Structures are given as C-alpha cells and as structure tokens.
C-alpha cells in the first residue's frame, strides 16, 4: 500500500510539474483511491474531492474546445471518483455519459464501461439491470474481438445469473471463467471456485463442490490470507449443506482467524456462523450472531473491486486474462 501511494503521488507531482492538467487529475484520483483502499477515508476524501474539481474543469474546458477525447477522459475520472466513494447513482450517470461520448467518437471498446455499470448494479442488488449491462459488455467484447477481460466478464455474468436463481446458466459462465483464470494461474481463480461451490451447494450438489475444491488445491496453492479464507469458507458451505455441521464449524473458525475483525469481509463469517448454528440446532450459540435472514454474502468478489487504480479503458495485450491492466485513452 505504501509503495502504491508513493507511485500515485509521484504521478501527481510529475503531472503538476509538466503542466499536464489531465494527468494531475488522474494522479489525484490515484492518491485518493489508494488512501481509500488503505482505510484513510478522511484524507482520501480530500484527494478525491480535488480530483473531482480538476476533472470538472477539464471536462468543461474540453467540451468548449470540442476535444471529445479529453472530455471522455475527464468523465471517466469523475465516474471512478463517485464509484470510489460508493455514490452509485452519480457513478452510473457518469459511466452512461462516457458511453455516449464513446458512441459519438466511434470508439468501439465499450465493454469495460458496461462492466463497471454491471458491477455497480450488483452492489445495489439490482441484478436484472446488472444482467443487461454485462450482456452488453459481452456484445461489445465479441464485436471488437478484445477478449482480454473475458474471464472477468464471464464471472460477472455467472454471478448475476446465480443471484437471479438461474443456477445452471450461472454455473456455465462461472466454469468458463474458472477455466480462463486457471490457464493464466491467476489467484482470482479461488474466488471463482468459491462462487461455483456456492452455486452447486444451492443446487444440492455440495459433494461436487468439495470435489472442485480438492481439484483446485491439487493444482494451485492459495498464498494470501484472503485466498486461504475463501477456500475455508467454501469448505464450510459444502459441509453445512451436507449436514456435517462439526466440519463446517471447524472451517468457519479457520476462516475467521484469517480475516481481521476490522476487515469489511469479517461480517460474512459472523453471519455464516449464525446461520450454521441455527441449522445445527444450537440456538443458544447462535444468539450472539445475526439471524439466518441476515446472512447475505455481500458482493465484493476481489479485494480491489471498488478501487480500480488504473482508471482506464482498454487492455494492453489481447488474450491477457489478468484484471485491470489497461492503458488510458
């Protein structure tokens, strides 16, 4: 985090020294997003508000001069600023404005913007609208032949179908995503495997979920605490559905140890434990935890989902499956 912040600050200062206003706004945005991810909300807000002021100035200036590329860059910066602050309505407006600019310019690579719109709708649990946006993203991807983010898009589509109770459709796309991430040995693979396991468990196929976990661990080793936690949660889900509550409890305890009490993911373990104890019949143990109806897994998927520090729109290398390695417009 410290190194990321240093680089972001260097980008900001270098842009300022060279009089590159567009880059200065981008640098401020990078600083704000990095601070936000590090939990420095108050300082992050100052940087993000400064980025907003610069981006608005550049947008208006570019619009007056008839410079649509600069205007699009500024609108994109505004969209990511609102997304970083979880101001979903404003972020959606900016991304839609960005799409309109792309159409005016004849810029074809619109799928990354559609994907951001889809994710915003996931976060507010509007899955029908999320489905529309991610399907539009796939259409754009197929038109351009730029499938560098196909694994990410397939994940989004599979996740959305599962939330709309279309589990088989969801599984089909989640498996496509899994195969692509496995080919790239990308650690996001563990998140995808977890979603597949959850879908299988809901379909009464928890035993297949356990097989997938074992298959994944035979080929890939989770190295980060986050990925280890994801695997423990997946085990717990399967064992709970199979009625092996003792084993589910064991794996949930392991997962809880792997995540800090102050981490935003911590509440999932708390709520999952409450659900487990209720199904197990240990109602006294369940009392300190929220009830089963409160046990909703919030969609974060990846630690950097809300903080896209590259703020860009096109992949650098066709065929690349890792996320967010895009160049700016």
Q: How many residues comprise the chain?
A: 329
The confidence band for 127, taking pLDDT boundaries of 50, 70 and 90, is: very high
- The domain of 2 spans 1-88
pLDDT value of position 12? 62
* Listed range (52-61, 114-123, 269-278, 309-318) with the worst mean pLDDT: 309-318
Whole-number average pLDDT of the chain? 83
Whether 12 is in a domain gets the answer yes
Residue where one domain finishes, among candidates 154, 185, 216: 185
User: Does the pLDDT at position 296 exceed 60?
Assistant: no
* Listed range (20-29, 127-136, 184-193) with the worst mean pLDDT: 20-29
pLDDT value of position 25? 80
- The alpha helices in the chain, defined as continuous H runs, are 2-17, 21-37, 41-65, 68-84, 88-105, 111-123, 127-144, 150-163, 167-183, 189-202, 206-219, 225-241, 245-258, 266-280, 283-286
For a pLDDT cut of 90, what percent of the chain falls above it? Answer: 63
Token readout for 225 is 């605490």
User: Does the pLDDT at position 62 exceed 60?
Assistant: yes
Whether 195 is in a domain gets the answer no
As a whole number of angstroms, the distance between CA 68 and CA 49 comes to 23
Whether 178 is in a domain gets the answer yes
Whether 7 is in a domain gets the answer yes
Token readout for 218 is 């035979």
User: Does the pLDDT at position 284 exceed 60?
Assistant: yes
Residue where one domain finishes, among candidates 164, 185, 206: 185
Q: What is the DSSP letter of 320?
A: -
Q: Report helix, strand or coil for 315.
A: strand
User: Does the pLDDT at position 326 exceed 70?
Assistant: no
State the average pLDDT over residues 88-115: 97
pLDDT in tens, 183-225: 999 999 999 999 999 999 999 999 999 999 999 999 999 999 9
Residue where one domain finishes, among candidates 54, 88, 122: 88
Task: Looking at the structure, tell me whether residues 114 and 63 fall in a common domain.
Answer: no
State the average pLDDT over residues 16-23: 70
Task: Looking at the structure, tell me whether residues 72 and 153 fall in a common domain.
Answer: no
Higher pLDDT, 154 or 2: 154
Whether 142 is in a domain gets the answer yes
Task: Looking at the structure, tell me whether residues 82 and 22 fall in a common domain.
Answer: yes
Q: What is the CATH number of the domain that holds 166?
A: 1.25.40.10
Element housing 314 (H / E) = strand 314-315
Task: Looking at the structure, tell me whether residues 123 and 67 fall in a common domain.
Answer: no
Task: Looking at the structure, tell me whether residues 9 and 72 fall in a common domain.
Answer: yes
pTM above 0.85, yes or no: no
Whether 229 is in a domain gets the answer no
User: What's the total number of domains in the chain?
Assistant: 2
Task: Looking at the structure, tell me whether residues 112 and 76 fall in a common domain.
Answer: no
State the average pLDDT over residues 230-252: 96
pLDDT value of position 272? 87
The confidence band for 294, taking pLDDT boundaries of 50, 70 and 90, is: very low
pLDDT value of position 297? 40
CA-based nearest residue to 130, from 95, 151, 160, 108: 160
pLDDT in tens, 85-95: 999 999 999 99
pLDDT value of position 29? 86
As a whole number of angstroms, the distance between CA 185 and CA 118 comes to 25
User: Does the pLDDT at position 18 exceed 80?
Assistant: no
Whether 141 is in a domain gets the answer yes
Whether 247 is in a domain gets the answer no
């Amino acid at each position: 985090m410290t190194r990321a912040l240093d680089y972001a600050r260097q980008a900001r200062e270098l842009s300022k020294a060279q009089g590159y206003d567009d880059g200065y706004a981008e640098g401020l945005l990078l600083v704000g997003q990095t601070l936000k991810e590090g939990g420095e909300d108050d300082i992050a807000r100052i940087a993000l508000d400064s980025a907003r002021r610069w981006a608005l100035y550049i947008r208006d200036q570019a619009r007056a001069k008839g410079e649509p590329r600069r205007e699009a860059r500024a609108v994109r910066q505004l969209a990511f600023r609102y997304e970083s602050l979880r101001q979903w309505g404003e972020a959606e407006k900016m991304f839609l404005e960005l799409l309109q600019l792309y159409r005016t310019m004849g810029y074809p690579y619109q799928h990354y913007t559609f994907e951001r719109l889809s994710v915003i709708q996931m976060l507010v649990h509007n899955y029908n609208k999320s489905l529309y946006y991610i399907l539009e993203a796939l259409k754009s991807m197929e038109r351009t032949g730029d499938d560098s983010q196909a694994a990410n898009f397939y994940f989004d589509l599979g996740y959305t179908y599962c939330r709309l109770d279309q589990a088989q459709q969801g599984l089909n796309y989640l498996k496509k995503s899994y195969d692509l991430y496995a080919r790239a040995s990308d650690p996001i693979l563990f998140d995808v495997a977890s979603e597949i396991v959850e879908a299988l468990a809901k379909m009464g196929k928890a035993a297949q979920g356990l097989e997938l976990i074992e298959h994944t661990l035979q080929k890939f080793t989770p190295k980060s605490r986050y990925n280890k936690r994801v695997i423990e949660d997946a085990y717990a889900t399967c064992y709970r559905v199979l009625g092996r509550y003792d084993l589910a409890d064991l794996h949930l305890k392991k997962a809880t140890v792997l995540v800090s009490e102050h981490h935003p993911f911590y509440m999932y373990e708390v709520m999952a434990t409450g659900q487990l104890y209720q199904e197990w019949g240990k109602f006294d143990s369940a009392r300190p935890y929220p009830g089963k109806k409160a046990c909703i897994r919030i969609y974060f998927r990846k630690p950097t989902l809300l903080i896209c520090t590259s703020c860009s729109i096109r992949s650098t290398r066709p065929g690349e499956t890792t996320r967010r390695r895009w160049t700016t417009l």
